[in-house]
Amino acid sequence: MENKIIYGITGIFETPDEIINAAKKISESGYTRYDIHSPYPLHGMPKAMKLKPSPLGYFALVFGLTGAFAAFAMMTWMMGFDYPLIISGKPFIPIPAFIPVTFEVTVLLASVGTVLSMLFLLFKLPNNSHPLHDTDYMKQVSSNKFGVCIEAKDDLFDEQKVKDLLIQLGAKDIQVITYDNETLSFKVNIFEWKFVVFLIASALVVSAATYATLNKLMYVPPFDFMMEQHRIDAQAESKFFGKGAFSMLTPPDGTVPRNSNQFKFAGNPELADAKLLNPLLPTEENLRKGMQKYDIYCSPCHGYHGVGDARLNGQFPNPPSLHSEKIRSWGDGHIFYVITQGQNSMPSYSSQLTNEEKWQIVLYVRALQRAMNAKEEDMK
Amino acid sequence: MKIDALKDPSVIEGHPTFLDIDNQISAPLDKPLNTKYLLALAITSTMLLIGVISIGATFYYGIGLWGNNNPVGWAFDIINFVFWVGIGHAGTLISAILFLFRQKWRTGIARFAEGMTIFAVMTAAIFPLIHVGRPWLAGYLFPYPNQHHLWVNFTSPLLWDVFAVSTYFTVSFVFWYIGLMPDFATLRDRAKNKIKKIIYSILSLGWRFSNRHWQHYEMVYLILAGFATPLVLSVHTIVSFDFAVSIMPGWHTTIFPPYFVAGAVFSGFAMVQNVLIIIRKIFDFEHIITLETLEKMNKIILATGTMVGYAYGMEFFIAWYSGSQFESFVFINRAFGPYAWAYWIMVSCNVLFPQLFWFKKIRRNIPIMFVIGVLVNVGMWFERFVIIVTTLAHDFLPSSWAYYKPTLIDFGVLIGSFGLFFTLLLLFIKFMPVISIAEVKAVLDGAQPHHNNNGHQGGNDGK
């Protein structure tokens, strides 16, 4: 007992009314370093103890404003300056869209910051080696009793006087709390070999785990990146379809695609000339659509008026004029045949044009020919 | 007997002493495991295992195992996400909003509801992660400096969700932990087992019940409640933005944020009520979680259920009033189209059955309120189903319309989510105090000093 230093003297009270009365008396006697312990917060206790109002509200304000400014500045810099992108036609710094994240970061920082500063700055927790821990006193005040502890560090502290005061106030179970010898002699030494080994071991484990994750695990299915994953390249040989097959299978012989029009006159323009008739009438609408398609698909080589003055002059062989005697003497079916099958260096236009559009083009070509070689009665 | 009209009625029945409270609340922690508990844990962990297998298969083979397909790209995953985030909202409402309104009856249920919030948000967080298909790359969701110099898109509601849900989880967790700290200290001083004592000492951070600390503690509790209140409203608002900010008919409405928040509180309260009914029965907490408390919860379920019903009606009204043919089509299609079955399950469970709570007898009848609570949660799950699936299945392009069919794996993940939630809840019940010891003590009769020195209000001194 003798070599121990006194931390303080404690007393136990039974009811909340007694403890609040005791708190008032103790603070009126001029003690400043004392504490009241109760299993739950007591109404009116801060006033009885003459405590200053809690400053945590200001902490929350500062943390909250920091969060708001930090979040807003971060988003403004990232989206407005570091990597500006136009998203949905909004400005680079769309302020309304920043509100949700700003709010969330404000709340996050204000809450977490206030709590952490309360625990670590104001309370100096975690502290499991406080002299009050593991005493009978603490066991009672954590459950159903109320206690007062006057610390030895108080300027007015005098063992006998404090005991008398507590007895006078009606306290029971008055005890002297002392520091533990181990606590007093304990020194933190970060170069203790156990601690150093622990540091090295955790560094090794963390590095190994990081390496294994980033350089090994991320290349093992299903964790591998998409470019590493199993896939079938276009026109590569396919193991799935059997030997010699490709990733894109050729359809079996005789396969007919849905909605397809089979052209029965392939390789036989004369027959097409004789048998095919234009199902459309040269109405204004048909001519207009024919002109539209002609201007898109035909005019690059044949020219807008069909004289063969291609815009692509020189890059492809110039086509003959559409106004020659030969072509004017062709039937509609023959022109349709050339659009469908191609001729010389002209390819087929079947993939670009429907049958109806081809006939509309035929009508328009006829109109061009008629315009260049007008008959006598057209002039009237 | 003298009745004092100036005094609040007690929220804790039977005049227990402080020591009784300690003993009763920590009883489940001190007793050895019994068969009932192990049986319950076996069931929930089996459900959890089904979920783990389903999610494992999803990771290995890809999300093609789910029923999601064009045009319904969001299905069970997002339904479950919204459902579970909603469940969490009741906890924060009880712990923060009712705290600000000085509702003393919340003390018996606050801790438990907060725990549910945390577990519900944890369960919910799984779904966006597995929905993206490659959850091990989830770090990309946060803005971090990378070699591509690319940042996340801060104008996207999906990113707001990341911030909202992670903030919500963190703040709820801090709130919960701050509440638990004094209780861990009480348990530390009660512990006879050495290992338990060490664990509780670490968890209590060396809390000393000092009134110099309680003063700051009460302040921080008030600040946290003040922040958690707008936070909880913001979270489901932002979840609703995932839908409302898009231009899909049926989603693009301004009513979504309040409607989602009301729905979240609605389903959350139903879940808290259901689980509390079981807990108070098993652990003999009937005097702490009183019938009065349950009745008050039923009133909140009734109020929020009516709000949700109003929102359903208002959606239809606006669909007609806006004159937009796409809106009208979507809503008529919801009620009478191929998903009419889901719509009417939703309406009957969410709007019709909770209306029974207008009757006091039903509000105070435990079996009936339990059944209504279950129905409310079924209904709220279907609400999310209706919102997500009916809108996506019939989008602007009629040629791509299709009927959504979930697969077995989808149901496996859903069962697994319930398994995870209830497993965590059971572990919580076993290892932590499910009722706040310090807060309950503070609202017992005679727990607070009488401020009037003349003592004419004092009960004990007989004046």
DSSP code string of B382-430 = HHHHIIIIIHHHT-S-GGG-------HHHHHHHHHHHHHHHHHHHHHHH
pLDDT tens-digit profile of A142-175?
A: 888 899 999 888 888 888 888 888 888 888 888 8
- A123 contacts A129 by C-beta, under 8 angstroms: no
Residue B179 — pLDDT band, cuts 50, 70, 90? very high
The answer on pLDDT for B462 being more than 50 is no
The answer on pLDDT for B32 being more than 90 is no
pLDDT tens-digit profile of B378-426?
A: 999 999 999 999 999 988 888 888 899 999 999 999 999 999 999 999 9
Distance (Å, whole) CA B5 – CA A379: 112
Task: Name which residue leads in pLDDT, B98 or B419.
Answer: B419
- B138 contacts B129 by C-beta, under 8 angstroms: yes
Contact B167/A at CB under 8 A: yes
pLDDT for A50 equals 87
pLDDT for A274 equals 83
Note which residues in 14-73 of chain B have CB less than 8 A from chain A. Answer: 17-19, 22, 59-62
Q: For residue B320, give both structure tokens.
A: 């007609």
Alpha carbon distance, N-terminus to C-terminus of chain A: 136
Q: Considering only the beta carbons, identify the residue of B160, B167, B206 that sits closest to A107.
A: B167
Tell me whether the omega of the peptide bond preceding residue B230 falls within 30 degrees of 0, making it cis. no
pLDDT for B8 equals 60
- Whether B223 and A57 lie within 8 Å, measured CB to CB: yes
- Whether B188 and A142 lie within 8 Å, measured CB to CB: yes
- The three state secondary structure string of chain A is CCCCCEEEEEEEECCHHHHHHHHHHHHHCCCCCEEEECCCCCCCHHHHCCCCCCCHHHHHHHHHHHHHHHHHHHHHHHHHHHCCCCCCCCCCCCHHHHHHHHHHHHHHHHHHHHHHHHHHHHCCCCCCCCCCCCCHHHHHHCCCCEEEEEECCCCCCCHHHHHHHHHHHCCEEEEEEECCHHHHHCCCCCCCHHHHHHHHHHHHHHHHHHHHHHHHHHHCCCCCCHHHCCCCCCCCECCCCCCCCECCCCCCCCCCCCCCCCCCCCCCHHHHHHHCCCCCCCCHHHHHHHHHHHHHHHHHHHCCCCCCCCCCECCECCCCCCCCHHHHHCCHHHHHHHHHHCECCECCCCCCCCHHHHHHHHHHHHHHHHHHCCCHHHHC
How confident is the model over A210-221, as a mean pLDDT?
Answer: 89
Contact B154/A at CB under 8 A: yes
The answer on pLDDT for B184 being more than 70 is yes
Q: Over the range B49-76, which residues count as b (16 or more CB within 10 Å of their CB) and which as e?
A: ebbbebbeebbeeeeebbbbeebbebbb
Distance (Å, whole) CA A324 – CA A334: 14
pLDDT tens-digit profile of A280-323?
A: 888 999 999 999 999 999 988 888 888 888 787 777 777 888 88
Q: How many alpha carbons fall within 13 Å on the CB side of residue B437?
A: 29
How confident is the model over B346-372, as a mean pLDDT?
Answer: 94
- B81 contacts B128 by C-beta, under 8 angstroms: yes
Which residues in chain A have Cβ-Cβ distances shorter than 8 Å to B60? 221-222
Task: Give residue B197's identity as a one-letter amino acid code.
Answer: K
Q: For residue B434, give both structure tokens.
A: 């499910």
- Whether A41 and B60 lie within 8 Å, measured CB to CB: no
Note which residues in 182-241 of chain B have CB less than 8 A from chain A. Answer: 182, 185-186, 188-190, 201-202, 205-220, 223-224, 227-228, 230-231, 234, 238, 241
Distance (Å, whole) CA B241 – CA A103: 15
Locate tokens 């929220």: which residue? B11
How confident is the model over B357-366, as a mean pLDDT?
Answer: 93
Which superfamily does CATH assign the domain made up of A269-379 to?
A: Cytochrome c-like domain (1.10.760.10)
- B77 contacts B385 by C-beta, under 8 angstroms: no
The answer on pLDDT for B295 being more than 80 is yes
User: From residue A181, how far is each of A177, B161, B179 by CA, in Å?
Assistant: 13, 53, 33
pLDDT tens-digit profile of A83-123?
A: 998 888 889 999 999 999 999 999 999 999 999 999 999 98
**For chain B, how many helices (H) and strands (E)?**
17, 0
The answer on pLDDT for B306 being more than 90 is yes
How confident is the model over B150-173, as a mean pLDDT?
Answer: 93
Paired residues of A9 in beta bridges: A150, A176
Distance (Å, whole) CA A217 – CA A212: 6
Torsion over CA: B225, B350, B382, B336 (sign): negative
- Whether B211 and A36 lie within 8 Å, measured CB to CB: yes
The boundaries of every CATH 1.10.760.10 domain in chain A are 269-379
Distance (Å, whole) CA A171 – CA A13: 5
The answer on pLDDT for B230 being more than 50 is yes
Distance (Å, whole) CA B162 – CA B140: 11
pLDDT for B454 equals 41
Which residues in chain A have Cβ-Cβ distances shorter than 8 Å to B213? 122-123
Residue B37 — pLDDT band, cuts 50, 70, 90? confident
Which residues in chain B have Cβ-Cβ distances shorter than 8 Å to A129? 206
The answer on pLDDT for B455 being more than 60 is no
Which residues in chain A have Cβ-Cβ distances shorter than 8 Å to B102? none
Which residues in chain A have Cβ-Cβ distances shorter than 8 Å to B450? 17
- Whether B201 and A46 lie within 8 Å, measured CB to CB: no
Q: For residue B350, give both structure tokens.
A: 């969410």
pLDDT tens-digit profile of B251-263?
A: 999 999 999 999 9
Backbone φ, ψ for residue B178 (5° rounding):
-60, -40
How confident is the model over A326-341, as a mean pLDDT?
Answer: 88
Q: For residue B124, give both structure tokens.
A: 């919910």
The answer on pLDDT for B453 being more than 50 is no
Q: For residue A316, give both structure tokens.
A: 């492809």
The answer on pLDDT for A30 being more than 50 is yes
The answer on pLDDT for B4 being more than 70 is no
Nearest alpha carbon to residue A272 among A339, A364, A344, A213 = A339
pLDDT for B457 equals 41
pLDDT tens-digit profile of A249-291?
A: 778 888 887 766 677 787 888 888 888 888 888 899 999 999 9
B210 DSSP 8-state letter: B
Chain centroid offset of residue A128 CA: 42
**What share of chain A in percent tops pLDDT 70?**
97
pLDDT for B238 equals 95
How confident is the model over B306-334, as a mean pLDDT?
Answer: 92
**What share of chain B in percent tops pLDDT 90?**
60
- A145 contacts A14 by C-beta, under 8 angstroms: yes
3-state class (DSSP) for residue B10 = coil
Burial zone of A243 (CB within 10 Å; 0-12 exposed, 13-18 middle, 19+ buried) = exposed
**What share of chain B in percent tops pLDDT 70?**
95
The answer on pLDDT for B461 being more than 60 is no
- Whether B154 and A78 lie within 8 Å, measured CB to CB: yes
Mean of per-residue pLDDT scores for chain B:
89
How confident is the model over B368-377, as a mean pLDDT?
Answer: 95
Residue B225 — pLDDT band, cuts 50, 70, 90? very high
The answer on pLDDT for B363 being more than 50 is yes
Q: How many CB atoms lie within 10 A of CB A228?
A: 12
- Whether B171 and A108 lie within 8 Å, measured CB to CB: yes
- B434 contacts B26 by C-beta, under 8 angstroms: no
Mean of per-residue pLDDT scores for chain A:
87
- A279 contacts A349 by C-beta, under 8 angstroms: no
Torsion over CA: A36, A39, A45, A51 (sign): positive
Cβ neighbours of residue B277 closer than 8 Å, sequence gap 6 or more: B294, B366, B369, B370, B373
Task: Name which residue leads in pLDDT, B4 or A305.
Answer: A305
Mutate to test the interface with B, among A15, A17, A74 (most CBs of B within 10 A): A17
Contact B144/A at CB under 8 A: no
pLDDT for A183 equals 65
Alpha carbon distance, N-terminus to C-terminus of chain B: 15
pLDDT for B3 equals 54
pLDDT for B5 equals 55
Backbone φ, ψ for residue A316 (5° rounding):
-130, 160
Residue A359 — pLDDT band, cuts 50, 70, 90? very high
pLDDT for B148 equals 82
Q: What is the dihedral of CA B370, B372, B375, B376, to 10 degrees?
A: -110
- Whether B171 and A111 lie within 8 Å, measured CB to CB: yes
Q: Which of A168-182, A200-214, B138-152, B256-270 has the lowest mean pLDDT?
A: A168-182
pTM for this structure? 0.81
- A174 contacts A11 by C-beta, under 8 angstroms: yes
Which residues in chain A have Cβ-Cβ distances shorter than 8 Å to B174? 111-112, 115
The answer on pLDDT for A370 being more than 50 is yes
Does the domain at residues B18-142+151-442 carry the CATH identifier 3.40.50.300? Answer: no
